[in-house]
């Protein structure tokens, strides 16, 4: 039996982002302590160069973050997060006005000012749990919202995470949160299982195998963020700098399981994974470059 086909799109300001086929979200970290050092861009010129590079390679979204949420990361004051992220957003929006931008934040104040500066999408690792006012900001702006599952906080999430049945518990979490979001009038939603956020290696791979069930039940696009993470590094015994090959393997698996958004450090390789999976799934549409 063929799998059901869901067609999705997001209204991003005056543009429609088509998610009927997978897209790539490029990561722009304006932080000094993100887990993958090569992803850090500290100056406006560096941000613009990286943004242009990712857009040229095919990124549909640029995700700008000013506070690391890696395991063990210290909480950054709101003023510092704003100081990092707003100039980057303003510069990218000014130089690439057609680009769709998201902001990676859990703070309502940062979200509000980022949306005013040109962002279209809110990417919230906390699901509104760490600053409930953020959901009101999303509702007010009627912007797409990325709902992520995390157990604990960055300071505690990898301290012996436990579940009785990880996929069912994460699915139940999403069902509950979606009721709240829709009651607020938030309907453009993507689901992020939160790979590496309060999960063991076994939990992560169990969630990856269950992505089709998540889409079938929730009928929402799924975002997968596994780029150079512990799912690769711990399994293969490599550092993030050597995890591109393993990341691409995970991207292929995620796409075969129904992922619609890949959040990545390496756009070209992710785009190549999408083309290969699409050729595999629809051989009649193969077009060589």
Give the Cα separation of 166 and 175 in Å (integer): 14
From 113, 228, 229, 260, active-site residue: 229
What is residue 253's DSSP assignment? Answer: H
- With vertex at residue 144, the alpha carbon angle to CA 140 and CA 146, rounded to the nearest 5 degrees, is 115
Q: Is 229 a catalytic residue?
A: yes
From 94, 263, 268, 275, active-site residue: 263
Helical packing angle, 244-256 and 201-209, nearest 10°:
40
Nearest Cα neighbor of 68 from 35, 44, 38, 101 is 35
Question: What are the start-end ranges of the E strands in the chain?
Answer: 9-12, 15-18, 23-29, 61-65, 100-104, 121-124, 145-148, 189-192, 223-224, 261-264
Q: Is 263 a catalytic residue?
A: yes
What positions carry a catalytic annotation? 229, 263
């Amino acid at each position: 039996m063929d799998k059901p086909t869901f067609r999705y799109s997001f209204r991003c300001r005056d543009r429609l982002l088509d998610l009927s086929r997978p897209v790539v979200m490029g990561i722009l970290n304006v932080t000094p302590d993100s887990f993958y050092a090569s992803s850090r861009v500290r100056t406006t010129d560096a941000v613009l160069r990286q943004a242009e590079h990712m857009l040229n390679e095919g990124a549909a979204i640029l995700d700008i973050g000013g506070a690391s949420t890696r395991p063990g990361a210290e909480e950054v004051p709101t003023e510092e997060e704003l100081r990092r992220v707003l100039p980057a957003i303003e510069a990218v929006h000014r130089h690439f006005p057609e680009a769709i931008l998201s902001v990676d934040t859990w703070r309502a104040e940062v979200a509000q000012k980022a949306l005013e500066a040109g962002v279209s999408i809110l990417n919230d690792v906390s699901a509104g749990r760490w600053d409930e006012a953020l959901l009101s900001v999303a509702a007010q702006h009627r912007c797409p919202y990325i709902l992520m599952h995390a157990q604990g906080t960055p300071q505690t999430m990898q301290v012996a995470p436990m579940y009785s049945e990880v996929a069912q518990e994460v699915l139940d979490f999403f069902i509950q949160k979606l009721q709240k979001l829709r009651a607020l009038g938030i309907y453009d939603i993507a689901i992020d299982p939160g790979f590496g956020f309060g999960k063991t290696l076994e939990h992560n791979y169990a969630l990856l195998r269950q992505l089709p069930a998540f889409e079938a039940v929730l009928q929402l696009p799924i975002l997968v963020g596994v780029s150079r993470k512990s799912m690769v590094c711990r399994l293969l015994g490599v550092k993030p700098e050597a995890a591109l090959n393993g990341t691409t393997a995970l991207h292929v698996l995620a796409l075969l399981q129904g992922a619609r958004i890949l959040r990545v450090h390496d756009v070209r390789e992710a785009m190549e994974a999408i083309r290969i999976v699409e050729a595999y799934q629809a051989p009649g549409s193969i077009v060589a470059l």
